Structure 1
Amino acid sequence: MIKSMTGFGKAEFEVNNKKITIEIKSLNSKQIDINTRTPALYREKDIIIRKMISEKLVRGKVDFNIYVENLGEESNSKINEPILKGYFNHLKQISTELGVETDFHALHTALRLPDVVKTEYETLDEQEWETIRKNIYKALEDIDSFRIQEGAALLSDISGNISSIQSLLAQVEPFEQQRMETIKNRLTDSLESLKLNGNVDENRFEQELIFYLEKLDINEEKVRLANHCSYFKETLEEELSTGKKLGFISQEIGREINTIGSKANEKNIQRIVVQMKDHLERVKEQLLNIL
């Protein structure tokens, strides 16, 4: 079973007069790359959150967000009344000395002065954190399910392209014998055109011809390519993470296709090789997103 590295998970819940939304999004990456955005209250749990994500998602570029909406009437921001009164009385005294009327604008000005509004920092309640932790796991399960669904789509597409390469490989056979005969006749005609008047050692010529034809033989590459394709399909069905392994096998498939193309020396086989490369490139593009 293969999984995509693309996914999205979300959990919404209420706790302690707060509506909390957890969102997790992942894209493809060579390693695990986690970016967290959480309110200050939960920063102390950042290492635990990262560990939970890395253990579940294994690989990918992951964005983790916690959004908090306060549902109660209380706020962490409080007006420091003694300081506000001190500022206002001071402004009122100055206004009197200057003969300026003290009105609402003076109060508005006082509210903007330093230390008038203070923020009381909460301490994280462990029961609240336990609720958040359970919902992080829920969001991680959601994103994992998303990855499995995407992986099924990738499996179908990748497997289809590998099957196409196998089918194209079978089409090489009819042209192979013809290719060797064409090369042999071409060499013979070239030799006759030199008009060496019988000064050619026929045995030596035959040995050289066999050696040359063996160098152009693609049977070994065909066998290896067929084996790599079969192994690729077997690896697709493995339970554990297989993305990197499939990448290595695809490199071997590409190497054999390129060798067949360089040895082909026959237009029909070269056309088949081009089609194989096209299917392999599609496979490689999809492999970038496999876990």
Structure 2
Amino acid sequence: MIKSMTGFGKAEFEVNNKKITIEIKSLNSKQIDINTRTPALYREKDIIIRKAIAEKLVRGKVDFNIYVENLGDETNSKINEPILKGYYNQLNEISKELGLAVDQSTLQAAMRLPDVVKTEYETLDEAEWETIYANILAALGDINDFRENEGKALEADIIGNVENISTLLKQVEPFEKQRIEALKVRLTDNLEALKMNGNVDENRFEQELIFYLEKLDINEEKVRLANHCEYFFETAKQNGASGKKLGFISQEIGREINTIGSKANETNIQRIVVQMKDHLERVKEQLLNVL
């Protein structure tokens, strides 16, 4: 089953007077590329977060964000009263010595001085973390569901194009017979034009003709191309990350199509080859986003 690398997952919940929002977004990438943005309180769990993302999403460029909104009156920033009073008393004395008025602006000046506001750092509550981690896994579940739904649309388009290549391959056969006959006639006519009939070894000519036709034979390429298409269908049905493997198979399909085109020597077959290449390019383009 084909899955997309594009997805979005989200979880919102409340814990310990906090509203926490987790957002995960993924886009296509050759490898797993994780970018996390978390508040300082949860950074000690960054390795655990990255491990969970890598296990669940496997591949893609992933942006992970945790947003925290405090719902209570509590805050980590506190006024350091002893220091503030010390600053204020000193400013009061200086103002009196300079004959300046002591008013509200004196307190405002004191508030801007160093260490008046102190920040008390929280320690992470393990019960809170367990709730957060459970919601991270839920958001990863959402993004995987999103990827599966996107994958269904991708699969329909990709499989449809490979089926078209298989259908076009069957259309080559009638023109292939015409091609061989046309080649024989053209070679014979060219030989007649040289007026060398009396000096030509007929057996040798037939041997050379057979050798030349064998070099232009495309039966092997047709068989390999059909097998590659069948293998593509089988791989697309497998569970797990198949994007890279499908990419390799599409390269093999391209090689056989190119070889058929180079050996064709027939206008109708070359037109079919062009159509095959068009469908293959669409497949390759879509495979860039397959997990």
Instruction: Identify whether the pair has TM-score above 0.5, normalized to the shorter chain.
Output: yes
Q: Any idea what SS the aligned residue of 1:9 has?
A: strand
1:212-291 alignment runs, 5 A limit: 212-291=212-291
- Note the alpha carbon deviations across 1:233-259, whole angstroms, 9 max, x for none: 111111232111111111110010000
Following TM superposition, by how much is the alpha carbon of 1:105 offset from its aligned partner in structure 2, in angstroms? Answer: 2.2
Following TM superposition, by how much is the alpha carbon of 1:216 offset from its aligned partner in structure 2, in angstroms? Answer: 0.5
- Note the alpha carbon deviations across 1:135-169, whole angstroms, 9 max, x for none: 01110110111111111111111110011101111
Following TM superposition, by how much is the alpha carbon of 1:197 offset from its aligned partner in structure 2, in angstroms? Answer: 5.1
- 2:285 and 2:110 map into 1 onto residues whose CA distance is 62
- How large is the Cα RMSD of the aligned pairs? 1.1
Q: Any idea what SS the aligned residue of 2:253 has?
A: helix
Q: Any idea what SS the aligned residue of 1:246 has?
A: helix
- 2:83 and 2:179 map into 1 onto residues whose CA distance is 96
- 1:102 and 1:270 map into 2 onto residues whose CA distance is 95
Q: Any idea what SS the aligned residue of 1:118 has?
A: strand
1:109 aligns with 2:109: yes
AA matched with 1:180? I
Segments of 5+ residues of structure 1 without an aligned counterpart are: none
- 1:270 and 1:113 map into 2 onto residues whose CA distance is 81
Following TM superposition, by how much is the alpha carbon of 1:4 offset from its aligned partner in structure 2, in angstroms? Answer: 0.8
Q: Any idea what SS the aligned residue of 1:3 has?
A: coil
Q: Any idea what SS the aligned residue of 2:290 has?
A: coil
AA matched with 2:113? L
Segments of 5+ residues of structure 2 without an aligned counterpart are: none
- 1:183 and 1:117 map into 2 onto residues whose CA distance is 92
Following TM superposition, by how much is the alpha carbon of 1:89 offset from its aligned partner in structure 2, in angstroms? Answer: 1.7
Q: Which moved more, 1:156-165 or 1:175-184?
A: 175-184
Residue aligning to 1:174? 174
- 1:273 and 1:7 map into 2 onto residues whose CA distance is 35
Following TM superposition, by how much is the alpha carbon of 1:27 offset from its aligned partner in structure 2, in angstroms? Answer: 0.9
AA matched with 2:209? L
AA matched with 2:49? I
- Note the alpha carbon deviations across 1:30-83, whole angstroms, 9 max, x for none: 111111110000011111111111111111111111000000001001111111
Residue aligning to 1:138? 138
- Note the alpha carbon deviations across 1:213-247, whole angstroms, 9 max, x for none: 11001111111101111111111111232111111
1:45-194 alignment runs, 5 A limit: 45-194=45-194
AA matched with 1:256? E
Residue aligning to 1:42? 42
Q: Which moved more, 1:185-194 or 1:174-183?
A: 185-194
Runs of at least 4 residues off by over 3 Å: none
Q: Which moved more, 1:35-44 or 1:93-102?
A: 93-102
Structure 1 residues 230, 66: closer, same or farther in 2, change over 3 A?
same
Q: Any idea what SS the aligned residue of 1:198 has?
A: helix
User: Could you tell me the percent identity over the aligned residues?
Assistant: 80
